[in-house]
Amino acid sequence: MRDETAKRMGPTSLHPRTAGGEKEARVVARLYEFGPFRLEPAERRLSRNGDAVVLTPKAFDTLSLLVRNHGHLVEKEELLNNLWPDTFVEEGSLSNNVFLLRKALGDSTENPKYIETVPGRGYRFIAEIVANGTDKASALTGVAMVPPLVVLSASATSPAASTSRKLMAWLFATGIICVGLAAFAYAKWRHRAEPVPLNGVPVTALPGWADFPAISSDGTRVAFEWTGEQDFTAFDLYVKTLGNESLLRLTNDPAVHLAPTWSPDGTQIAFQRVSKEGGGIYVVPTQGGVVRKLRSTNASFDRSMHVSWSPDGKTIAFADSPFPGGHKRLLLLSLETLQSTPIEHDDKCVEEVLPAFSRDGKQLAYACSLASREGEFGLSVVTAEGRKPRIIKESSGWLKGLEWLPDSKTLLFAEWHIGTEHAVLRELDLANGSIRDRMVVPDSHFSDAFSANGGRLAFVVNSGVKNNIWRGDLVHPDAPPVKLISTTRDQFCPKYSPDGRYIAFASNRGGPPEIWVSDPDGQNVVQLSNLRGLATGSPAWSPDSRKVAFDSRIKTPDGQIRADVYIVDIVERTPRKLSTDTPGASIPSWSHDGKWIYFMGGGNDAAGERIYRVSPEGGKSEVLTNARGYSPLESPDGQTLYFAENSGTNYTLHTASLNPTGTESRVDGVPPLSFLMNWDIVQGGVYFFPRNDILTLNYFDFSTRKVRPIFKISGGGAFPGLSVSTNGRYILYPELDDYRSDIMLVENFH
């Protein structure tokens, strides 16, 4: 983590010193040529044989600093202080920039042509350089992004900065600042004082699903969406006055989901509506009346649904993308003109969601899905007009809601990590970036939405959630589905064996999730694994139906979460770990010829999770994708690898060529998926549950490029896993049965 002393002092000087200790001004070139590349720092341009090479701003700055010091070691400390003089970041951000540079330059870690890693120290640019045109570099500046530019050397870090960073390292190690969930998990913050349980009383005790609570500014009413006792995904908007059991229904047009926010004067509610017909921003009087549509959106059921009404009543902030499944950006909707203006974009953010205006109306906070690493986010702030974006804190895990406290100086958010039992409600002090744990939410299924207003906190806790495995008939789709495997616990990730004789699945019926196997009718259940890790799942059959590959996660002695792939013979039932040189191996699948196991890996590589393959006997793995991919499945002809990609708020289906490797593309025509693993490839097409209708199984035909519905399930959605039998007759899916949720209220919350 960047140390506070260095931040106050400004960028560490990277100029060489003379014998007398004075900094030496050095000659800086206006352009540099190396190999087929030309670097022009003043123009911020990199080209290869005359063609532009696109880099992120920080990657370009990193390259400029290394090139200007070619032949010299540049310490990590020096790079961090110069590239991020006013931001707290981990070394992983630097590693990611170097990875992006190597990828753009066609370089490698093993046989570097341009950038050499000096283990534990930093980096050195090693290629021969021709420099043309020179300027004198100021001896007093740090990284200048326009001429004159700084010349770097491998000078020692200043004693003050070094001492401060050692102090921060000690704080990091003792848990006062933070510890990593994994190698690049920035912010599973630990504190000396344990947060107290979040004990609330029910606001609702209704059948069905209630979600997305929003408390009025005076704290007397709560708006929320509710299914009623009917369809799991048919929500309408309701208002309840606290202390009164009567409900006022504001909409009569059931949607997939609704996310409300109150007007400052409490007379109207704005909401983003997600439906199969499309999304939109709407307003309705809080006492009932005509629902008015303000604009259409490409909204989806996720964190991008949230909207925020400015305290002056003039603006609604919301997230949208130019097309369904695209990256979300925050926009400001003027209620006077109904024109929408995007906020100033931060290149570090691949998506912008969860807008929240401060109570004084001067700032807009939001969650930034970081472009540098999958599954991590930054808590960001812009002015109320959408200018001057800055990331206050970077983190990982599942972000669940974002609110301001009344002082407009503190953000409230909830965060949950894999391997932890509870979500934690946290406060972020914008003045110094410090984190304080407030309360532990007593259920890891804590909703993405909560609301704090008028001295009260409303949040959602799910209950009655239980996954059972169902079987649908693809030949007779009108036939009622059969509940095949059911217990009082969870069953998920079902997989038919290629010979049709078995079903492998994951279940916590015996304690922590393990791998189990049954016959095709769900009978004669036998346990295959007994690793007793945090989570074991993702079973995949070998082509001969004799072995199952799966993944399992454990917590290491130092508190890290580590995933590995295992293989178990269904007769011997003794799992062995698959040896691979890629960390974080998970979600395996087999090639049809049995020669390869595909898997997702590299979670603590700067590139993030990508798809690899390795021999079932283990050994050196081969990377197959540049994109961050999940749930790899080989096509029936063995020529293509299908995988899901997470854009931040949407899951989309992609392909990578196998013979030869190196070509990747999105599968055009397939809408966003309901989940990363809720699809299966068959000869001629793909079965999937779409994001905008999670209860309807669909089929996409590769030849016609058309989508058609197959049948509708009756439970609370299919998560996670989908498997079609080899003969194409049946499909297995885990269904959420008996799903309920309650809105809870905490009094005197400040």
Together in a domain, 579 and 615: yes
Least confident of 305-314, 554-563, 573-582, 664-673: 554-563
Residue at a domain's end among 140, 174, 208: 174
Strand, coil or helix: 452: strand
- Kindly tell me if the per-residue pLDDT of 366 is higher than 90: yes
Q: What is the pLDDT of residue 16?
A: 39
- Kindly tell me if the per-residue pLDDT of 5 is higher than 90: no
Residue 586 pLDDT level (bands cut at 50, 70, 90): very high
Together in a domain, 315 and 328: yes
Inter-axis angle of helices 76-83 and 91-105, to 10 degrees? 90
Together in a domain, 305 and 447: yes
Q: Between residues 739 and 71, which one has the greater pLDDT?
A: 71
- Kindly tell me if the per-residue pLDDT of 22 is higher than 60: no
Q: Between residues 88 and 306, which one has the greater pLDDT?
A: 306
Give the Cα separation of 506 and 512 in Å (integer).
10
Give the Cα separation of 398 and 197 in Å (integer).
19
Together in a domain, 365 and 487: no
Instruction: Give a yes or no: residue 517 inside a domain.
Output: yes
**CATH number of the domain that 22 lies in?**
1.10.10.10
Strand, coil or helix: 38: strand
Q: What is the pLDDT of residue 177?
A: 24
Together in a domain, 360 and 501: no
Q: Between residues 487 and 710, which one has the greater pLDDT?
A: 710
For the chain, the domain total comes to 3
**CATH number of the domain that 262 lies in?**
2.120.10.30
Task: Write down the mean pLDDT value for the chain.
Answer: 80
Together in a domain, 133 and 247: no
Together in a domain, 479 and 583: yes
Residue 400 pLDDT level (bands cut at 50, 70, 90): confident
**Among 117-126, 584-593, 646-655, the range of highest mean pLDDT:** 584-593
Task: Supply angle C-alpha 556, 368, 175, rounded to 5.
Answer: 35
- Kindly tell me if the per-residue pLDDT of 328 is higher than 80: yes
Together in a domain, 445 and 470: no
Mean pLDDT value across residues 629-634: 92
Q: What is the pLDDT of residue 54?
A: 73
- Kindly tell me if the per-residue pLDDT of 656 is higher than 90: yes
Mean pLDDT value across residues 475-484: 94
Together in a domain, 417 and 492: no
Mean pLDDT value across residues 374-384: 84
Together in a domain, 518 and 388: no
- Kindly tell me if the per-residue pLDDT of 337 is higher than 60: yes
Share of the chain above pLDDT 70, in %: 79
Instruction: Give a yes or no: residue 750 inside a domain.
Output: no
Q: What is the pLDDT of residue 436?
A: 85
Q: What is the pLDDT of residue 555?
A: 76
Residue 49 pLDDT level (bands cut at 50, 70, 90): confident
* Tally of CB atoms within 10 A around 325: 19
Instruction: Give a yes or no: residue 744 inside a domain.
Output: no
Mean pLDDT value across residues 695-714: 94
Instruction: Give a yes or no: residue 473 inside a domain.
Output: yes
Mean pLDDT value across residues 36-42: 89
Q: What is the pLDDT of residue 486?
A: 87
- Kindly tell me if the per-residue pLDDT of 392 is higher than 70: yes
Residue at a domain's end among 412, 428, 463: 463
Q: What is the pLDDT of residue 443?
A: 52
Together in a domain, 128 and 259: no
- Kindly tell me if the per-residue pLDDT of 421 is higher than 80: no
Least confident of 216-225, 352-361, 464-473, 722-731: 464-473
Mean pLDDT value across residues 728-746: 86
Residue 658 pLDDT level (bands cut at 50, 70, 90): very high
Which residues are bridge partners to 468 per DSSP?
Answer: 735
Least confident of 60-69, 473-482, 599-608: 599-608
Residue at a domain's end among 120, 142, 174: 174
Together in a domain, 148 and 259: no
Q: Answer whether 734's CB lies under 8 Å from 469's CB.
A: yes
- Residue 62 domain boundaries: 4-174
Q: What is the pLDDT of residue 82?
A: 83
Least confident of 28-37, 281-290, 327-336, 385-394: 28-37
Q: Secondary structure of 542-569 in the HEC alphabet?
A: CCCCCEEEEEEEEECCCCCEEEEEEEEE
Q: Answer whether 255's CB lies under 8 Å from 238's CB.
A: no
Q: Between residues 377 and 468, which one has the greater pLDDT?
A: 468
580: CB partners within 8 A, 6+ apart: 565, 599, 601, 612, 614, 618, 619, 620, 621
Q: Between residues 615 and 173, which one has the greater pLDDT?
A: 615
Instruction: Give a yes or no: residue 185 inside a domain.
Output: no
Least confident of 137-151, 207-221, 253-267, 539-553: 137-151
Instruction: Give a yes or no: residue 186 inside a domain.
Output: no
Instruction: Give a yes or no: residue 345 inside a domain.
Output: yes
Instruction: Give a yes or no: residue 279 inside a domain.
Output: yes
196-207 confidence digits (pLDDT tens): 666 778 888 888
Q: Between residues 610 and 142, which one has the greater pLDDT?
A: 610
In the 8-state DSSP scheme, what is residue 394? Answer: E
Q: What is the pLDDT of residue 440?
A: 66
